[in-house]
Amino acid sequence: MSTSQQAILVAVSTVIFALLPDRGGDVRVHLPLVRRTRDPFADQWALPGGWVRTSESLSGAGRRTLAETTGLRPSYLEQLYTFGRPDRSPGQRVVSVVYSALVRNHEAAAAVEGENVRWTSADDCTGLAFDHDEIVQYALWRLRTKVQHAHVAQHFLDEQFSLAQLREVHEAVLQRHLDPANFRRQVEGSGTVVETGERQTGGRHRPPKLYRAVVPEGSAGPLQSAGPLA
């Protein structure tokens, strides 16, 4: 077994997804990007992140660097994946532990757009620094393959939601129209939601029923299961 400890730097990055309207008004998956101020990739857009300090946990580093760069403080970050290809950062070996969160729009509002922060549609996200294009595509793929679990979609909604609200989340994530009757049948048959016994408030004659998500066993996190030290 090799005992040599070689110089590898450890960074964290965060992929924060919110459902926001694009310029045409269509609700789509967006994420905040931060403009780099230093080389490598000075002036290019990148995922929020930074170096891990020796005294902090990996998720703590994720929370700190996300707050420092964007102002975002999601209630929960889950570890998504660790990226460590030898050539992913020019001139130095950097391993990046990537954390992720799905946030509701009132939480997303903490990241105010400016010269060095912007929200971008995840599908239009290219030309980022390092391997961040690839990281975004991976996170988006995870979201799309897992959104059929209501406990994932629920991270974009309030605790209680109507089936129409749940369908709108699916439509925004998957970027396609879903037939309301089919969607209702599938969700009700899936066992992933239960009625709360309450109805949506509002002026309608027969307001829609409200539901909450059922979290399946072994699925702690929205994009994959959280680890024990998340």
The bridge status of strand 78-83 relative to strand 27-35 is unpaired
Q: Does residue 227 interact with its own copies by CB under 8 A?
A: yes
Smallest distance, its own copies to C-beta of residue 23, A: 29
Is residue 126 at the binding interface for its own copies, with CB under 8 A as the rule? no
- Site track 136-175 with its own copies (rule: CB under 8 A), x = hit: -xx--xx-xxx-----------------------------
Smaller CB separation from its own copies, 66 or 210 = 66
Site string for its own copies, 60-89 (x = CB under 8 A): -----x--xx---------x-xxxxxx---
Q: Is 50 a residue that touches its own copies (CB under 8 A)?
A: yes
Q: At what angle do helices 132-146 and 163-174 cross, to 10 degrees?
A: 150
Name the residue nearer to its own copies (CB basis): 84 or 208: 84
Q: Which is nearer to its own copies, 81 or 183 (CB)?
A: 81
Question: Does residue 52 touch its own copies according to CB under 8 A?
Answer: yes
Residues that bind its own copies (CB under 8 A): 1-10, 37-38, 50-58, 65, 68-69, 79, 81-86, 93, 95, 97, 134, 137-138, 141-142, 144-146, 217-219, 224-225, 227-229
